[in-house]
Amino acid sequence: MQSSVELTQDLVRFNTINPPGAERACAERLASLLEGAGFAVDLVPFGDGRAQLVARIGGTTGKLPLGFTGHLDTVPLGAQSWSADPFAAEIVDGRLYGRGSSDMKSGVAAFVAACTALADKLAGRSGWSCSLPLAKKQAAPGRWPWLMPRRLFLRSAHLSWRSRPATRRW
């Protein structure tokens, strides 16, 4: 089983800059991990090279599942040069460098690593749901209305997400 740091490194190595996005390969990597742990996974295509991922496990009548949401796309690299390769995901002096390492691939890696490690316990409880929509709200207007009618997003769940990047020491 991979640690959340190792999974973050894997995810950072995928170029998911939006535009154009190209999250499908990254979402497929996560889908494979989640399916291998017993999750039901929906990988929904949304344009060339793009996909949304929804994963579920467990669920008991009358109890709300715990839900996590995040995104796999990243912002462009910017005009200034990087001191490290933005897709190498190297750890230098205890810090992981790369595009998406603080927003939000590390957050996605943390909850996916934890939930795959605990899948057998989650299966018999109120449940767990994960939604990785197409892109950040500001990058894909109208994304939520597309998900909701198709019942891909969590309708009744306790939600948790990380909305601000933070400096991380590994």
d(CA 129, CA 122): 10
In degrees, rounded to 5, the angle at the alpha carbon of residue 25 between the alpha carbons of residues 153 and 1 is: 85
Q: How many helices (H) and strands (E) does the chain have?
A: 5, 7
The pLDDT value given to residue 134: 54
**Residue count of the chain:** 170
Tokens of 62: 């009358």
pLDDT, mean of residues 75-90? 94
93 or 2, greater pLDDT? 93
Find the helix packing angle between 105-117 and 4-12, rounded to 10°.
Answer: 140
Under CATH, which number does the domain 4-75+86-160 receive? 3.40.630.10
Percentage of residues in the chain having pLDDT higher than 90: 49
The secondary structure element, H or E, covering residue 41 is: strand 40-45
pLDDT, mean of residues 128-138? 63
As a whole number of Å, the end-to-end CA separation of the chain is 18
Mean pLDDT of the chain: 80
Is residue 47 scored above 80 in pLDDT?
yes
Return the SS3 of 68: strand
Domains of the chain by residue range: 4-75+86-160
Backbone angles phi and psi of 143, in degrees to 5: -60, -45
* In contact, 126 and 34? CB cutoff 8 Å: no
* In contact, 137 and 143? CB cutoff 8 Å: yes
d(CA 156, CA 148): 12
Residue 46's pLDDT band (cuts 50, 70, 90): confident
139 or 23, greater pLDDT? 23
Is residue 70 scored above 70 in pLDDT?
yes
Is residue 4 scored above 80 in pLDDT?
yes
Distance of alpha carbon 131 from its chain centroid, rounded?
8
pLDDT per position as a tens digit, 142-152: 444 444 434 44
d(CA 4, CA 111): 8
